[in-house]
Structure 1
Amino acid sequence: MKQTVEVEIAGQRLSIKSDEGPQYVQQLADYVDEQLRQLVPGGRGSFDLRRVALLVAIQLADELFREKDLHRQFRARVGAKLDALEVTLREHERRLEDL
């Protein structure tokens, strides 16, 4: 069931409806807010929030793509090891049958 969670990002209050719990949504909001703060340390000077938000979106997309690539590489390594284990198992089964 969707819940409405109130969060604040870059000084902007947002109401977010989510199937996830409030703590999870708050973690996401805190993470995005931290990314914004890193691009505009201390909020000094004037900045275009939309422009900074787009830069954060690019950074988050980069993180996502890198994690997906690592996941793909991991799955490939695990798959290769599983294939090797299956070959070894078949060899051992054949040897046992020959006994």
Structure 2
Amino acid sequence: EQGLLPISQHALKFYERISYHEYEGIASDEAERARLVADLGNNKAMVLRNHGLLAAGTTVAEAFIVIYYLERACQAQVAALAGGSRLTYPPVAVRQH
């Protein structure tokens, strides 16, 4: 529900640069393609809620780097939330930088 939280260096790479797509069930509806593209917008990373991650790039190498760091950010978030402690967020200016 909260999306990718700005709690790790990897997550900050995606601050205000990540999209979300709501789960629509098994991807057999061709009309979902247009909605995926619309939801991705100008970003190169998207969380497919209740499903997984999507990455894009101008090259395969760039797409790999995007998915690699997005996966690392998600791993850090899952670990941090599993700890149960209050999370610390950097100031907005740091997040935007």
Q: TM-score range by the shorter chain?
A: 0.3 to 0.5
TM-score (norm 2): 0.35
Higher CA-based Rg:
1
* Structure with more relative contact order (C-alpha pairs < 8 Å, separation 6 or more): 2
